[in-house]
Amino acid sequence: MKKIFSKMILVMVAALAITGLSGCGKDGATAEQKKAAPMKVIFYPSESAAEFEKSRDALKDILSEATGRKVEIVTTTDYNIVIESISNGQADLALMGAEGYIQANKKNPDVKAILTNSGASGTLEDALYYSFIAVKEENEKEYETGDGYTIDPIKGRTFSFVSNSSTSGFKVPSNAIVKEFDLENSDELINEGKFFDKVLFGGSHQGSAVNLLKGDADAAAFMNLPQYFKVADGEENKAGMLYQVKDDAEAPFDTVRGEKARIIQSTPVLNAPIVANTKVMSQKEIDKVIEVLTSKEVSDNEEIFAPEDAEQAALFVKEGDERFLEVDDKFYDPIRELSK
- For residue 46, what pLDDT is reported? 94
**What pLDDT digit, counting tens, does each position of 177-204 carry?**
999 999 999 999 999 999 999 999 999 9
**What pLDDT digit, counting tens, does each position of 123-180 carry?**
999 999 999 999 999 999 999 999 899 999 999 999 999 999 999 999 999 999 999 9
Q: At residue 274, what is the residue type?
A: I
Phi, psi at residue 103, to the nearest 5°?
Answer: -65, -40
Q: d(Cα 27, Cα 152) in Å, to the nearest integer?
A: 53
Question: Residue 160 carries which DSSP code?
Answer: E
- For residue 189, what pLDDT is reported? 97
User: Is the distance from CB of 229 to CB of 243 less than 8 angstroms?
Assistant: yes
Residue ranges, the chain, pLDDT below 70: 1-36, 340
Q: d(Cα 162, Cα 229) in Å, to the nearest integer?
A: 17
Q: d(Cα 264, Cα 134) in Å, to the nearest integer?
A: 5
| 103: helix, strand or coil | helix
Q: Is 203 left (phi over 0), alpha (psi -120 to 50) or beta?
A: left
User: Is the distance from CB of 78 to CB of 309 less than 8 angstroms?
Assistant: no
Phi, psi at residue 181, to the nearest 5°?
Answer: -105, 10
Q: d(Cα 62, Cα 75) in Å, to the nearest integer?
A: 18
- For residue 34, what pLDDT is reported? 57
User: Is the distance from CB of 335 to CB of 99 less than 8 angstroms?
Assistant: yes
* Nearest alpha-carbon partner for 86 in 26, 25, 41, 31: 41
Give how far Cα 251 sits from Cα of 42, 43, 142, 210, 292, Å: 21, 18, 30, 10, 32
User: Is the distance from CB of 191 to CB of 252 less than 8 angstroms?
Assistant: no
